[in-house]
Amino acid sequence: MTLPNSILNQNSHYDLILIGAGAANLSLVLALKESNYDGSVLILERTDKLPNNRIWSFWYHTTLPKHITSLISHKWASWSVSIGTSCATMNAPTMPYCSITAETLSNAALAVIDKSANYSLLLSCDVVSVEHKKNTISVITPAAKFECSQVIDTRPPIPEIPNVGLLQSFYGMEIKTESAFFTPSKVDLMHQLHVSNDRLEFFYILPFSESHALLEYTCFTRNNIPQMELKHQIEAFVTKYINGSNYSLVRTESGVLPMYNITPPANKKNVIRAGISGGAMRASTGYCFSSIQTWAGQTAAMLVNAEPLQQIIPIPTIYRWMDDLFLKVLCHNMNIAPVLFYNLTKKLSAPRFARFMTEKASILDLLWIIWCMPKLIFLKALFIINEKKQVNAKKK
């Protein structure tokens, strides 16, 4: 049930409190329902409604649960990366690129919450702190205090100061045009890849039909870019792409993602982090939906089996290490970034690329990806990483 703010039953003790109603916790709600979890769950969301201004994209793979694949709204068998007039296109009908709207995911979770007596949702509820007591955990909000046995916290991580890596900033416009401008069978993952003022820039085009698409300006940079500058970039691109034709704006989306591996804080008893702050996002790409489903399935199994709640980083160590190495190269050699991304698309088979993007790659896949990279530059980056580890070890 969705609780009105005027009804705050502080005397109830919940088995589980979920802080934040983003992709991670909503996916967990669906996984818990599928696993017949019968504990009491309270979801606390700081905004006044569930998210509906995002599109979650990922590559299909057979391990995705059916309750997630049933929500897929669009699939594309082809995707491409382009530099200037050169375009590398991949095609994988068995591992297509897929999208689920945030609204669809939210509605699926709301259906569970509204129909199940053991699930409750409280909107416009910002969490101030989480405190351990002798036999319980207190979740403190400005209006109330809630007691529970376990907490999953998806609040964003505190930015690292000084910034230890790159930032991915983006601004997107979903539009409908009067004429046909888009190719609905192919996604432009990185269109017009180029470097300008030490930032990697490209455009992302997600077509839903010949006259309906999401177009997004994205840049990788060390510094946060003002939102108005991002907006100006995508508006100028849209105008040029559709030849100045009229269009209607459906919605916008924007954000800033950390491009460095996030390690959750030390696990406190029965309190864990999830989502981006739980290490569920690929640092080199910003993709997280697939790994979130892995996390949701594993965490739901722990809860259903009444096992101690453990912190899970769903992205295997080898991918985090490869991302770290790749991003170290970009930090010191941004000008070669377009060629690196283009070559991955050009030299890899589509299934191999998709497996790598979904953390399902074989050892042979990983070795092939490493072989595609320029050896000397990556060896230098590896040396820098090892040198820093040695310095940090001496400090400890």
Please tell me whether residues 30 and 52 are part of one structural domain.
yes
Claim to verify: residue 322 and residue 284 sit in the same structural domain: no
Residue 199 within any structural domain of the chain: yes
CATH number at residue 148: 3.50.50.60
Same domain, 153 and 171: no
Q: Which residues are CB-contacts of 13 (< 8 A; sequence separation ≥ 6)?
A: 40, 136, 147, 148, 149
Both 137 and 187 in one domain: the answer is no
Domain assignment of residue 112, yes or no: yes
For residue 90, being part of any structural domain is answered with: no
Q: 144 lies in a domain?
A: yes
How many domains does the chain fold into?
3
Domain-embedded: residue 89: no
Let me know whether 66 and 152 are in one domain: yes
Of 156-160, 264-268, 344-348, where does mean pLDDT reach its minimum?
A: 156-160
pLDDT in tens, 298-339: 999 999 999 989 999 999 999 999 999 899 888 888 999 999
ω into residue 157 within 30 of 0, thus cis?
no
One domain, residues 101 and 250: no
Residue found by looking up tokens 């319980």 in the block: 136
One domain, residues 60 and 181: no
Give the long-range contacts of residues 205-208, CB within 8 A, separation 24 or more.
206/55, 206/57, 206/74, 206/99, 207/76, 207/182, 207/183, 208/74, 208/184
Same domain assignment for residues 37 and 117 = yes
What pLDDT is attached to residue 151?
96
With vertex at residue 95, the alpha carbon angle to CA 92 and CA 98, rounded to the nearest 5 degrees, is 110
The crossing angle, in degrees rounded to 10, of helices 363-372 and 317-332 is: 10
- Give domain status of residue 91, yes or no: no
- The single residue listed with the structure tokens 């992205």 is 315
Does 20 share its domain with 153? yes
Angstrom distance (rounded) from CA 317 to CA 11: 42
Q: Which domain holds residue 239?
A: 166-259
Q: How many CA atoms lie within 13 A of 10 on its CB side?
A: 10
DSSP 62: T
Mark whether 71 and 112 lie in a shared domain: yes
Average of pLDDT values for 115-119?
92
Same domain? For 115 and 8 the reply is yes
| Residue 27 lies inside a defined structural domain of this protein | yes
Q: Is residue 310 included in any domain, yes or no?
A: no
H/E stretch holding 13: strand 13-19
Q: Where are the beta strands (DSSP E) in 48-185?
A: 55-59, 74-76, 78-83, 86-91, 97-101, 119-122, 129-132, 137-140, 145-153, 166-177
Do residues 26 and 109 make contact, with C-beta atoms less than 8 angstroms apart? yes
Kindly report the backbone phi and psi dihedral angles of residue 233, in degrees, each rounded to the nearest multiple of 5, phi listed first. Answer: -60, -45
Mean pLDDT of 367-375: 85
* Tens-place pLDDT, residues 159-196: 554 456 899 999 999 999 999 999 999 999 999 999 99
For residues 178 and 214, membership in a common domain is answered with: yes
Give the pLDDT confidence score for residue 387 in this predicted structure.
56
Report the predicted TM-score, pTM, of the whole model to 2 decimal places. 0.91
